[in-house]
Structure 1
Amino acid sequence: MPGETAGVDIEELISRLDLSAKVRLLTGADMWSLPALPEIGLERLVMSDGPIGVRGTQWSSADPSIALPSPTALAATWDVGLVRRVGRLLAREARRKGVHVLLAPTLNLHRSPLGGRHFECFSEDPYLTGEIGAAYVEGVQEYGVATTPKHFVANDFETDRFTVDVRVDGRTLREVYLAPFERVVRAGAWGVMSAYNSVNGTTMTENRPLQREVLKDEWGFDGFVVSDWTAARSTEATVEGGLDVAMPGPSGPWGAKLEAAVREGRVSEEAVDDRVRRVLRLARRVGALGRPPADPGAPPTAPGGAPGSARSAAPAGAPISTTTGAPATAPGSGADPAAGPAAADGIALAREVAARSFTLLRNEGGLLPLRDVRSVALIGSAAAEARVMGGGSAQVFPDRIVSPLEGLRERGDVEVRHAIGTDPRIRLAPLPGPARALFLDAAGEVLAEHPLATAEARWVGDLPPDVDTARLAAVEIRAVHTPDVTGVHEFSITGVGAFTVTVDGETVFDGKLAPEGGDPAAAFLAPPERRITVALTAGVPVRIGARQPSGSFGGMAFVAFALGHAAPSPGDDALMAEAVEVAAGADVAIVVASTTMEVESEGFDRTSLALPGRQDELVARVAAANPRTIVVVNAGSPVEMPWRELVPAVLLTWFPGQEAGHALADVLFGDAEPGGRLPTTWPGRASDVPVLSVTPAGGAVVYGEGVFIGYRAWERAGRTPAFWFGHGLGYTDWSYDAMSASGTSATVAVTNTGERPGREIVQVYLAPVEPGPDRPARVLAGFAVVDAAPGETVVGTVRLPERAFQRWTDEGWRTVPGEYAVEAGRSLADRRLSATVTVRVSGC
């Protein structure tokens, strides 16, 4: 098949392996890789978390990565071409870091806005999720890096995710939750990740009906199924259920236990061979079997453009062009072939994607883009310390983050005055660098030393290669801090385990921090914090240190702790009064309102849709002081906005990635148009949301709403959200002029009636004329991205998939005959054109 190495006979290789070698290949050699088998020419197969970057195997700021906007932002672009370019960039990052398999994208759905990883999923709509996910997969795999769409399936919330049983009927599974996975399998995904949760009583790693009978047999998936980390908890049952690789390793339910099961006749060797075959097929596709790895420096050139089937002379680190995906600098031109995460084109793409994703929800009086503005009041803690990504396995470490304050000040043509207003964060931010991580032996001798961008040490899986793990006894963060103000400063230690914290050699904390709850990931991703107060003098530097014993457990690295800091604060009341005063004296006020790491992260769900802290009060008070107030909502998923009618402009920036500030300046001042459209319905109040709860009852969550999630549920309930699915304004106006439709496509003519070039997302919905109580009033059936100059008319053609006219029955997919309205418009609530088509099936 496309991308496979010519001349490599997998069956012959399998015949050369004994049982022990075969079984060894199916379990992690460590946290992030499968073992090499040099006897058959197999390299170590390395996996890494995504989806907004490629972290690599260290989970450390010592190995920086490009940080792109969040998946909700990618979906907000509704632009599959742009997402393919994102995939190509990620493939280059993977190759630069020696990664063969990207553990992404996340295809779970926005069933409830309380889902803790809502920001890491694309949409509430299965069709939009599938199209964006397929483009992501195609872009990454085009250059010979595998993807593992996850988490298969119904892992749409975090509460009790290791043990919860999701109970869902077959029709809902097929039409909603399985649909995006089916789409990416049809797009050629080389891997799938199996989820922690159970579905209808069977944990997913053991779920034969879904993993074997649907995924592999019915859909013809020939890739590999890898467990989510520690999700495999049995031996025979996981083999029977269709799992191919158990991660991490080498300990776990496979390994020696699986080998014994085969020797004792409880598992057939043919079943093991099937899994080895899939792993070797993966290795062949990613260039880790019998030939050098794929060079992602140029698009494939094999006949037919087969993904991953060609190699180029472009150097492995050449920056990728944001226009074509080809090398921006020709080989031999003198460019640094290991340009890495600071490569200009990667930064440019991060900036472009962010601006394209920004969603203008409200723009009364055309306040945006800003014109003739001499002074700006920029307000909010996130204005100076941008929230650019969600927490958890989606976290990467960019080598730079451009805050809104930096981005606006770099323009140089306006005066920017900043005020905090209020700080909603619960934990202290890591002490800014430079800092150092020291790896020490029992005598305190330094084994290795590594620079840190901030006073945060993280290594999970692999320690730096120069660390002698046999001698390692402790890891220590050291930093020097020079305070700007005299007074009582707060420092914090965040982590799990025993710690010693010193200030200028004096011990200020010596104790243990214990995690709360039963989710080990939450203990790592949202660990406890202990604060210490220290009196400091402005301008007088102090040495800060934090030490934790060991750092390696059973040969596997686990270092995760941070030193936080906060300067003396006058308190929220004084900060808010200052912000109001600054806002009143400026031409325009911009409030950056954000969620925090304690609100949106892997490992736990949200308990509220309210902005944390006193931010709602801050917005209201600033709006009262300055009628020209713009609110920038820096969140990966919906938040309540009780002040939305009080301000003329609301701009949603999602989690915008490392180029947040530059993209924000581009959009605010009209250098770029906010191109986003909502990929999920945005409620006014949590109490209005038709499907909200993510809390198991009796160990289960029942998807009793069936196919009615997202806008389908809002329409069925007759409720009106703050902003409907698909909503988003630009900086120009559009007329919808004409459309024609058949049972297979719709053609829509639109005109840019404004005064500047623009981009429009033409959305097409399919509505049965007689929907009935068990069918949605309408579903998204397709969309097209069009660009037009002022006064220009363009035509978008949207394919209508056959599946849009079908429903799942006990006999399989069946077309539902009858009349359908094909509706085109700017959002679900702004449908401007309609045509009727009649669908008939044999005998009707």
Structure 2
Amino acid sequence: MELKYNEIISQMSLEEKCYMFSGKDFWLTRSVERVGIKSIMLADGPHGVRKQEGRGDQLGIHGSVPATCFPTAAAIANSWNPSLGEEIGHCLGEEAASQGVGVILGPGLNIKRNPLCGRNFEYFSEDPYLAGKMAAGYIRGIQENGVSACPKHFAANSQEMRRMASDSVMDERTLREIYLTAFEIAVKESKPKSIMSSYNRINGVYANENKHLLQDILRDEWGFDGFVVSDWGGSNDHVEGVRAGAHLEMPTTGGDSDEELIQAVKDGKIGERLIDKRLDELLDVIFSAGAAVEKASGKAFDVEAHHQMAEKASEESIVLLKNEDTILPLKKGTAVALIGDFARTPRYQGAGSSVVNPTKLDSAKEMTTCFELKVVGFEQGYTRVGPENAELQNKAVELAKKADVVLLYLGLNEISEAEGLERPHMKMPENQISLLDAIEKVNKNIVVVMSAGSSVEMPWLSKCKALIHGYLCGQAGASAMLKAIMGEVNPSGKLSETYPLTYEDTPSAPYFPSRQRNAEYREGLFVGYRYFETVGNEVLFPFGYGISYTTFTYSNLQIENHKKDMENPATVTFTITNAGKMDGAEIAQIYVSAKAPAVYRSAKELKGFKKIFLKAGESKKVTIPLDDKAFRYFNVKTNRFEVEGGEYEIMVGASVADIRLAGSVVIEGTNAPSPYDMAKLPSYANGDILSVTDKEWKELLGHEIPDGSWSRTLEANDAICQLYYAKSAPARLVYKILTRMLDKSLEKGKPDLNILFIYNMTFRGIGKMTGGMVSSYMVDGIMRIINGHFFGGLRQVISGFFKQRKVVKKANRMK
């Protein structure tokens, strides 16, 4: 094993080497100045740099340095434009370097398994191919500046509730095809220098110590050569993490886990050669990112240019969902009533560790003065949180009577989409819909302008003539939206997720979130459109949907079959024509379907896409190559991706439900043995997976269903919110106090993110997130107290406290 930095590593003591695998503080890596190793800083992303001022914390108690707030990933994914992601990434990398940040923690790559996940606004799509391609663009852009991108959260972290204590249980094929493919594309196509492991277990093993993920797949199969960092507080067993392929535990544990690693080497539990190898991999990024930061030191980024980039990003991501009577674009001089609290105070990002302190912020109320509109007035209409306000509503209705068109700004409030919190339902706030009902009675010309980071139910859709959606559009989104409303920009975004009619239609609804320890992914491959297209269920808006102020026609389909070329098995060529009177961009999508599969699959799978700009009347020939992912499936018998030979339908569409051209191609397979007895998997054979039985689930898993139930004995890896199971009365009292504090914050409409973090954190996390104040030994004592052994546990906590003080002193000397 040849080390790139052997000369440096050979000069380091065992203690110095082992201490490099944990943070110096909340955001910095450790340094060993005598051998030339300097600290680098990691900072939150993914849609803006969140470098904290003063003392660091994860959820924003302390303020952060101003940075450009770009639209969130949920918005940018609607652009279907990886090149746009690359431009945004370049700005992010430039800002990171200028602020002394060597690693930006993003982009977020988890799949939108369920619309209620509170962090969906940070993620791209329900489809892994689209998510992977978009993320690869971001990563390329970020790393152009020499700093490191850090795609996250690896892997299968699809719920916020008890995220540190949950076990994502799924079959290997689902893991590989749905939850890992986006990461695979990103790693292979953009070569990120780091990657963040997730909090959860995957099939019983914590992500940060999962050799199957971190070594077998990430390094050996995909060729990843950077370092793996834990999510903050997400390291379970530090020794096992390093052994499995993790490198950096964040934040600092004040020397506690560092000493565990040192002792493990001394005891022969882990070899020093492996320590050297992991350190070599870590140093490669520390040196390269450190050099980039040093080069950019003192160079301020162009605030205005980046604001304009944020506006451009929002313009490309806006989705026009309804336009009855072609009410949009508005004519110049139209008398409009501006109604809705979001018009005055925009909701442009989600809540949690990704919150950016914007360099500037546009609002619709302020920006309307820049457009040729006759604004008859503004009314708030509703409060962000709480019941209907009759006075606000009446004022809004009176204003609506005076306007030709009402621009009604609606959306999900801050409490709906936040890290650490699941949405309770898919509905819009009732007071907003009540306002819509009231206005519709006096003015039929309503344009609803939406702000939300995930799909919502829309039984109210018939009450408005137009619906235009900006998602969470970043600091310049208000201006971009008004440009689209006025026709200065032709909306070109298309949905990167399905909008079901009701939440109950969602394929994962029966299984989300986890009831106790286990998050059971019984729906398997049938996530989002894969389910709806397979079973033929009606949806509100299909995946890939979005309309324009112009029309596009498709013609002249040609499919070239590259036989025996597994990397580029086919090329699809067709012509798109802008048949309307306005310039615009179309997103052409390619879906593949096996005509007679022996291995169960969804009816359609996205395998290619391209965004094409066309002037009015212009035609362009479009060529989209299909890659190695076009026809493959993961075979659980051979433990690798295989290709089933046979005829495949190639469909070119404007959305998954709007197929314009279709042809077929015969693909040569790899002749792998069939992995299933489909007679035992009837639900998966037909896609009807809303009530998968234990017997069928066990058959798909290939082993017994893990028991995820809680008992009256709590463990260090259980969540703090499970204190209601505690045998100790004081512990149950702590649970009641914590729950009441959380409820009060939710009632105010602004979730206390630190309470949420604590509520969902494991007891183990107390030792990982307190900077060395609490050791793992002290956590074990706390668990004894919780489980009814008060005095024995208290003695352990006290003795552990004095022992840990000595460890912290040593850690401080190590710098």
Which TM-score bucket, shorter chain as reference? 0.7 to 0.9
Please say if 1:38 is aligned against 2:33: yes
The equivalences for 1:583-594 within 5 A come to 583-594=400-411
Secondary structure of 1:632 counterpart: strand
Give the whole-Å Cα distance in 2 for the aligned partners of 1:407 and 1:252: 52
1:152 corresponds to: 154
Give the whole-Å Cα distance in 2 for the aligned partners of 1:797 and 1:37: 52
1:258 corresponds to: 261
From 302, 327, 344, the equivalent of 2:304 is 344
2:531 corresponds to: 713
Task: Determine if contact 2:50/2:67 at 8 Å carries over to the other structure.
Answer: yes
1:639 corresponds to: 456
Give the whole-Å Cα distance in 1 for the aligned partners of 2:112 and 2:85: 19
1:64 corresponds to: 66
Q: Report the alpha carbon displacement of residue 698 of structure 1 after superposing the two structures with TM.
A: 3.5
Secondary structure of 1:713 counterpart: helix
Give the whole-Å Cα distance in 1 for the aligned partners of 2:314 and 2:418: 20
Pair 1:292–1:240, CA change in 2 (3 A):
closer
| One-letter amino acid of the counterpart of residue 641, structure 2 | W
1:543 corresponds to: none
| One-letter amino acid of the counterpart of residue 294, structure 2 | P
Secondary structure of 1:598 counterpart: helix
Q: Report the alpha carbon displacement of residue 373 of structure 1 after superposing the two structures with TM.
A: 3.8
Task: Determine if contact 2:362/2:477 at 8 Å carries over to the other structure.
Answer: yes
Q: Report the alpha carbon displacement of residue 253 of structure 1 after superposing the two structures with TM.
A: 5.2
Give the whole-Å Cα distance in 2 for the aligned partners of 1:674 and 1:265: 62
Give the whole-Å Cα distance in 1 for the aligned partners of 2:376 and 2:489: 20
The equivalences for 1:718-733 within 5 A come to 718-733=536-551
Q: Report the alpha carbon displacement of residue 32 of structure 1 after superposing the two structures with TM.
A: 0.5
Give the whole-Å Cα distance in 1 for the aligned partners of 2:500 and 2:368: 30
Task: Determine if contact 1:766/1:804 at 8 Å carries over to the other structure.
Answer: yes
1:357 corresponds to: 317
1:755 corresponds to: 581
The equivalences for 1:79-94 within 5 A come to 79-94=81-96
Give the whole-Å Cα distance in 1 for the aligned partners of 2:534 and 2:553: 29
Secondary structure of 2:215 counterpart: helix
Task: Determine if contact 1:632/1:650 at 8 Å carries over to the other structure.
Answer: yes
Give the whole-Å Cα distance in 2 for the aligned partners of 1:816 and 1:416: 63
Please say if 1:839 is aligned against 2:799: no
Task: Determine if contact 1:116/1:605 at 8 Å carries over to the other structure.
Answer: yes
| One-letter amino acid of the counterpart of residue 239, structure 1 | V
Gapped runs of 5+ residues in structure 1? 1-7, 296-315, 318-336, 427-568
Secondary structure of 2:461 counterpart: coil
Q: Report the alpha carbon displacement of residue 612 of structure 1 after superposing the two structures with TM.
A: 2.1
The equivalences for 1:760-771 within 5 A come to 760-771=586-597
The equivalences for 1:388-407 within 5 A come to 388-407=348-367
The equivalences for 1:445-464 within 5 A come to none
Gapped runs of 5+ residues in structure 2? 54-59, 562-569, 673-815
Q: Report the alpha carbon displacement of residue 626 of structure 1 after superposing the two structures with TM.
A: 1.3
1:498 corresponds to: none
| One-letter amino acid of the counterpart of residue 145, structure 1 | V
Task: Determine if contact 1:408/1:416 at 8 Å carries over to the other structure.
Answer: no
Give the whole-Å Cα distance in 2 for the aligned partners of 1:735 and 1:294: 50
Secondary structure of 1:795 counterpart: strand
1:672 corresponds to: 489
2:623 corresponds to: 797
From 33, 50, 54, the equivalent of 2:45 is 50
1:370 corresponds to: 330
Give the whole-Å Cα distance in 2 for the aligned partners of 1:726 and 1:813: 27
Give the whole-Å Cα distance in 2 for the aligned partners of 1:168 and 1:72: 25
Give the whole-Å Cα distance in 2 for the aligned partners of 1:799 and 1:284: 37
Give the whole-Å Cα distance in 2 for the aligned partners of 1:148 and 1:381: 35
The equivalences for 1:92-111 within 5 A come to 92-111=94-113
Give the whole-Å Cα distance in 2 for the aligned partners of 1:410 and 1:61: 32
The equivalences for 1:283-362 within 5 A come to 283-288=286-291, 293-295=294-296, 337-339=299-301, 343-362=303-322
| One-letter amino acid of the counterpart of residue 740, structure 1 | Q
| One-letter amino acid of the counterpart of residue 626, structure 2 | L
From 248, 253, 277, the equivalent of 2:251 is 248
Higher strand share: 1
Q: Report the alpha carbon displacement of residue 366 of structure 1 after superposing the two structures with TM.
A: 1.1
Pair 1:217–1:183, CA change in 2 (3 A):
same
From 15, 22, 35, the equivalent of 1:20 is 15
Q: Report the alpha carbon displacement of residue 250 of structure 1 after superposing the two structures with TM.
A: 4.2
Give the whole-Å Cα distance in 2 for the aligned partners of 1:717 and 1:116: 27
Task: Determine if contact 1:144/1:294 at 8 Å carries over to the other structure.
Answer: no
Task: Determine if contact 2:98/2:293 at 8 Å carries over to the other structure.
Answer: no
Q: Which deviations, in whole Å up to 9, do the C-alpha atoms of 1:95-132 show, x marking residues without a partner?
A: 11100001101110010001110111000001000100
Q: Report the alpha carbon displacement of residue 293 of structure 1 after superposing the two structures with TM.
A: 3.5
1:442 corresponds to: none
Q: Report the alpha carbon displacement of residue 266 of structure 1 after superposing the two structures with TM.
A: 2.0
Higher helix share: 2
Give the whole-Å Cα distance in 2 for the aligned partners of 1:293 and 1:183: 30
From 227, 230, 237, the equivalent of 2:230 is 227
Q: Which deviations, in whole Å up to 9, do the C-alpha atoms of 1:582-640 show, x marking residues without a partner?
A: 11210100111111221101011111111124111212222232111101110010111
Give the whole-Å Cα distance in 2 for the aligned partners of 1:616 and 1:772: 48
Task: Determine if contact 1:732/1:755 at 8 Å carries over to the other structure.
Answer: yes
Secondary structure of 2:441 counterpart: helix
Pair 1:723–1:842, CA change in 2 (3 A):
closer
Secondary structure of 1:226 counterpart: strand
Give the whole-Å Cα distance in 2 for the aligned partners of 1:94 and 1:243: 24
1:307 corresponds to: none
Please say if 1:582 is aligned against 2:582: no
Give the whole-Å Cα distance in 2 for the aligned partners of 1:745 and 1:146: 34
| One-letter amino acid of the counterpart of residue 658, structure 1 | Q
Task: Determine if contact 2:170/2:521 at 8 Å carries over to the other structure.
Answer: yes
Give the whole-Å Cα distance in 1 for the aligned partners of 2:92 and 2:145: 10
| One-letter amino acid of the counterpart of residue 835, structure 1 | G
Secondary structure of 2:391 counterpart: helix
Please say if 1:612 is aligned against 2:429: yes
The TM-score normalised by the length of structure 1 is: 0.75
Give the whole-Å Cα distance in 2 for the aligned partners of 1:382 and 1:602: 21
Give the whole-Å Cα distance in 1 for the aligned partners of 2:326 and 2:255: 59
Give the whole-Å Cα distance in 2 for the aligned partners of 1:723 and 1:612: 20
Pair 1:840–1:423, CA change in 2 (3 A):
same
Task: Determine if contact 2:646/2:668 at 8 Å carries over to the other structure.
Answer: yes
Give the whole-Å Cα distance in 2 for the aligned partners of 1:223 and 1:236: 19
Please say if 1:817 is aligned against 2:645: yes
Superposition CA RMSD, Å = 1.9
1:783 corresponds to: 609
1:431 corresponds to: none
The equivalences for 1:622-637 within 5 A come to 622-637=439-454
1:441 corresponds to: none
Give the whole-Å Cα distance in 2 for the aligned partners of 1:698 and 1:841: 42
Q: Report the alpha carbon displacement of residue 392 of structure 1 after superposing the two structures with TM.
A: 0.7
Give the whole-Å Cα distance in 2 for the aligned partners of 1:266 and 1:155: 30
Give the whole-Å Cα distance in 2 for the aligned partners of 1:235 and 1:769: 48
Q: Report the alpha carbon displacement of residue 35 of structure 1 after superposing the two structures with TM.
A: 1.7
Task: Determine if contact 1:233/1:252 at 8 Å carries over to the other structure.
Answer: no
Please say if 1:807 is aligned against 2:625: no
Secondary structure of 2:591 counterpart: strand
Task: Determine if contact 1:373/1:587 at 8 Å carries over to the other structure.
Answer: no
Secondary structure of 1:48 counterpart: strand
Q: Report the alpha carbon displacement of residue 383 of structure 1 after superposing the two structures with TM.
A: 1.1
Give the whole-Å Cα distance in 2 for the aligned partners of 1:245 and 1:843: 42
From 138, 141, 152, the equivalent of 1:139 is 141
The equivalences for 1:500-539 within 5 A come to none
Secondary structure of 1:34 counterpart: coil
Task: Determine if contact 2:102/2:293 at 8 Å carries over to the other structure.
Answer: no
The TM-score normalised by the length of structure 2 is: 0.78
Q: Which deviations, in whole Å up to 9, do the C-alpha atoms of 1:248-298 show, x marking residues without a partner?
A: 00426521221122122222111211221111111233244xx87355xxx
| One-letter amino acid of the counterpart of residue 609, structure 2 | F
Please say if 1:659 is aligned against 2:470: no
1:499 corresponds to: none
Secondary structure of 1:625 counterpart: coil
Select between 799-808 and 689-698 the one with higher mean Cα deviation: 689-698
Aligned residue-pair number: 651
